[in-house]
Amino acid sequence: MRRLLLSIALGAALVSTAFAQTTAQPDLSGTWKLNLAKSKLDKQHKIKSQTIAITASGDTIQFRDSADAKDHVYTFIPDGKERPFGIWDENNDSVVKATWENSVLVIETTIRSGAQVLIHTIDRWSLSSDGKMLLLDPNSNGKLSFVYDKH
């Protein structure tokens, strides 16, 4: 009886360890084109076109964003550490923190003026199960969504 209970306890420990492992992070790499028809935008977002080229290399993820003929490059390390994210202007600075929550890339950006927080955003990037669509849910409020098709 004691051996049976020990076997059950050991088996339960092994099974719980397997379930506790995190979901593999998807590879977001590729070129993605904004699908305005599938996206939900508000009046503040007047984007006419946007293409994002994403490359993953080791622990870094790089976004090359081309929106309305303006190009930007952003590099993220999804390890949960806060890092400087460039200078907003001479009086403000910004930091970014990226993490994986299961299969969702979460990018949290904070723009500060001294100790005062001016803007705080949380963007959630997820890949469709077939890998053909990339969804950006800014601030997780459901009011906005950006849908990108694999190009």
Task: Name, in order, each residue with C-beta under 8 angstroms of 144's C-beta and a sequence gap of 6 or more.
Answer: 40, 41, 42, 45, 137, 138
At residue 88 the predicted structure's pLDDT band, cuts being 50, 70 and 90, is low
Residue range 37-86, pLDDT digits in tens: 999 988 887 888 999 999 999 899 999 999 887 889 999 999 999 998 87
Domain that includes residue 69, residue range = 26-150
Classify residue 21: in a domain, yes or no: no
Tell me what the mean pLDDT of segment 2-28 comes to.
Answer: 49
Number of domains in the chain: 1
CATH of the domain at 67: 2.40.128.20
Domain-embedded: residue 5: no
State the pLDDT confidence band at 89, using cuts at 50, 70 and 90.
low
For position 4, what pLDDT does the model report? 31
